[in-house]
A and B are shown apart, each in its own frame.
Chain A
Amino acid sequence: MTSPDPGQADHVDQSAVSRRRLFGLAGAGVALVGVGAAAGYGVDQITGNSPAQAASGTIDFHGEHQAGIVTPTQQNLHFAALDVTTKDRDKLVKLLRTWTDAARRMTSGQEVVPGGAIGGAPEAPPGDTGEALDLPASSLTLTIGFGPSLFDDRFGLAAKRPAALIDLPLFPKDKLDPARSGGDLCIQACADDPQVAVHAVRNLVRLGFGVTEVRWSQLGFGRSASTTRAQPTPRNLFGFKDGTNNIKAEDADFLRDQVWVTEADGQPWMAGGSFLVARRIRMHIETWDREPLEGQENIVGRTKGTGAALGQAAEFDPVDLHVNGAGGEPVIATDSHIRLASHETLNGARILRRGYNFVDGSDGVGHLEAGLFFLAFNRDTRKQYVPMQNALSSKDSMMEYLQHTGSAHFAVPPGPKPGTSWGDALFA
């Protein structure tokens, strides 16, 4: 097995239970010591909701909310949007149950089905594709969402479509590729090992043949947001810290008001869920790299080094939009990214971002096809993401270096409980 980051892999290998259970309890004990001694490095990547999770690299699949939202952002992403190919509601309901069971197993570091990759009949193709055989759970989370198109007349779901699950409007400067947009369903797989994330999506897709098919999928190789205060703020491909002011797991009030849907929001089945906006944002890194440092900082509204907002000294110093410099010109320019995206400018609206950097090969005219796969969770996309993106798309000076090429919107149901299915709330 080759891992992109040997240090990290070693760390998790020691600490986790692999799919083949090569490591026993003694191994786990060693791992606990390892965690304590790791002096910060890598700890944020495997820290779950409890010390036990930290030791095993396993994130609990069950809960009031789905994992993969406030879970400390893992290093890697494989996101897939799928279309349902059958009109048979029962088949879809059955698949969602099968998927939930498979997800339950995979997120705990097991093969997709018992017997898995090599334990079945030699005459039969293996039930698990095998590429994650020797790998631990790697903090895998699997998060499902339902797209607006699922609520058409095929499955009798029209009355259950949340009002907030709008067809996203076309924003100024959008250049959307239909082949990278939309979808009846989505699966967000996040893990600290890219192969584990890909394995999970691949096996769910495989289970879905005849019921679903992949519409588009996206790999992300480095988190571009933090969802806990313990995680350092990562950098995006513009080289800037991204997500300093993100909603974090510790922000109980913001999560309650701005992320989690309640029964009172109109569709009781969504209580405890959230709305996921996915945008594939191509970054013109070549022209960006030719922009002087001062210009880059003015576009973002932060310094490149510490990530402090302009006019402030340290990264987490509060952004002050009312500081002016020489000649009374705003220090954080009127068309700078952080001003336009600020909750202060947007009547208090915030979102929880969970995006990833990507480089999808090249663009055919000598450039890297690079960017940020933007993922954000919010309680009501109409009141949060849409006004924010309208402000950014029309005024943000950064738009000159960006192009939105893919777009999708999903209703993310509440978290499953032991024995229940991802589809239970919606199809009840």
Chain B
Amino acid sequence: MSRFHRSPLAVAASAGALLALSACGSGTDTAAAPAAGGPIKVEASDTACNVSVGTANAGNVTFEITNKGTKVTEFYLYAEGDRIMGEVENIAPGLNRRLIVEVADAGKYQATCKPGMTGNGIRNDFTVTGGAAKQNDTNALKAEATKSYASYVANNSAALEEQTGKFVELVKAGKVAEAKAAYASTRIYYERIEPVAEKFGDLDPAIDFREADIEAGQQFTGFHRLEKDLWVSGLQADSSQIADKLLTDVKDLVAKSKTLDLTALDLANGAKGLMDEVATGKITGEEEAFSHTDLWDFQANLDGSKAAIASLRPILQEGDPALVATLDKEFANVQALLTKQAVGDGFKLYTELSPDQIKEFASAVDALSEPLSKVAEVVAK
């Protein structure tokens, strides 16, 4: 889903990738505007890797690789420490392929062919000159923002693990009424930090897929499967297994989320993505198809979005104070509408809302989402 993973995964383990990511900014100057010179010809064979030019100016560098050998080959541009700047795989004998790679920083690189696609490859020193001096990405405000949001994620993921544990116990004990009562308030912690979960490909579907999302032959697992059991079909023979798996997946997620290194831009896109989630899933009543507890999720998405914006606030205040004022107003407006539907610690069911009330929510969410979508630009400046 759209939240964070539009940019390559930024996991602490691959700190190299992170640096490259932050260095290349918003990436709007793509292939259409190659930097200096024409394409650099690379003639690859089983034993040689002839690169026509050994230097290039910083910017987009285009390589045209021809495989004149008999083995399938690959071509890489490595930065120091074998950090991959770009690569083309599976170049069959006789084929021409192209690699356009964005090299923002001057420095020493290695243009490398890998005949047979194994081993260290045949390496050529490749020098990039010019370009901006390496940007210092330790913008204090951005660092502060991501740190602050990381602690929000940590708090909520800890609560998610704890509450899921309790919920799972109730399901396994066959305590249907109590499990139903705990369902929506457990999911809150997931919905607040959903963009983080979506960073980890398989976990979000396993934990949060709706029945309508399932492919033929795929197993229906996670919260919504238990939701269906609790509200509609009754506990099934495998409900306990599903519950155990849910807890395992949640624990996995919580562990992985600790390694996640988010950027300020991730926060901006996450804040927007959470409200998109409200617009397409909660306002339509599609998320909680059996329990109709969509407004709990709505509130949690709103909380999560607000938290991300709160972390970014000093940056936004500096870059666009009027936007901050608009966001404050629109967040408050949506919150006021939700509060009107509050019942005790929770909310009315989706099915108890009138069409007019749904329309009112939709309008308020649109009015908030539009300025939210402008946050990324301010952060990227």
A interface residues (Cβ-Cβ under 8 A, vs B): 169-170, 172-175, 284, 286-287, 289-295, 297-299, 303, 305-306, 308, 310-313, 317, 320, 322-329, 331, 364-367, 390, 393-394, 397, 400-401
Contacts and interface: CB of A to CB of B under 8 A. Distances in A.
A172 B214 contact: yes
A329 B9 contact: yes
Interface stretch (B18-26, B147-155, B187-195, B248-256): B18-26
B294 to A, nearest CB: 14
Interface string B97-117: 111111000000000000000
B318 to A, nearest CB: 20
20 contacts: A170-B216, A286-B279, A287-B369, A292-B6, A294-B26, A295-B269, A303-B31, A311-B31, A311-B99, A312-B98, A313-B32, A313-B34, A313-B98, A322-B88, A324-B86, A326-B8, A326-B85, A367-B366, A397-B1, A401-B2
A364 B356 CA distance: 10
A141 B265 CA distance: 50
B97 A320 contact: yes
Contacts of A397: 1-2, 5-6
B84 A327 contact: yes
Contacts of B359: 364-366
A400 B362 contact: no
B17 interface: yes
Contacts of B99: 311, 323
Nearest to A363: B362
Given A172-B214, A323-B86, A311 B100 contact: yes
A252 to B, nearest CB: 24
A315 to B, nearest CB: 11
B238 interface: no
B6 A366 contact: no
Given A295-B269, A325-B86, A327-B83, A287 B276 contact: yes
Interface string B276-288: 1001100100100
B133 interface: no
B93 interface: no
A323 B87 CA distance: 6
B109 to A, nearest CB: 12
A293 B84 contact: no
B363 interface: yes
Contacts of B363: 365-366
Contacts of A324: 84, 86-89
B370 interface: yes
Contacts of B212: 172-175
Nearest to B380: A292
A161 B258 CA distance: 57
Given A295-B2, A365-B363, A397-B1, A290 B86 contact: no
A325 B280 CA distance: 32
A325 B60 CA distance: 12
B50 to A, nearest CB: 21
B215 interface: yes
B26 A292 contact: yes
B310 interface: no
B358 interface: yes
Contact of B8 (A172, A308, A327, A394): A327
A328 B87 contact: yes
A332 B195 CA distance: 21
B83 A400 contact: no
B14 A327 contact: yes
Given A175-B212, A364-B355, 8 more contacts: A295-B6, A312-B100, A313-B34, A323-B98, A366-B362, A367-B366, A394-B213, A394-B218
A412 B28 CA distance: 44
Interface string B74-98: 0000000001111111110000011
A302 to B, nearest CB: 10
Given A306-B32, A365-B358, A290 B84 contact: no
B47 interface: no
Nearest to B23: A326
B51 interface: no
A349 B121 CA distance: 35
A329 B8 contact: yes
B272 interface: yes
Contacts of A327: 8, 14, 16-17, 20-21, 83-84
A299 B98 contact: no
Contacts of B27: 294
Contacts of B376: 292
Given A293-B28, A366-B363, A400 B97 contact: no
A294 B28 contact: yes
Given A299-B6, A366-B362, A312 B31 contact: yes
Interface in B43-84: 62, 83-84
B215 A393 contact: yes
Contacts of A292: 6, 26, 269, 373, 376-377
B17 A326 contact: yes
A294 B9 CA distance: 15
B289 to A, nearest CB: 11
B372 interface: yes
B88 A173 contact: no
A22 to B, nearest CB: 48
Nearest to A287: B276
B30 interface: yes
Nearest to A174: B212
Contacts of A287: 276, 279-280, 369
Nearest to B101: A325
Contacts of B8: 325-327, 329
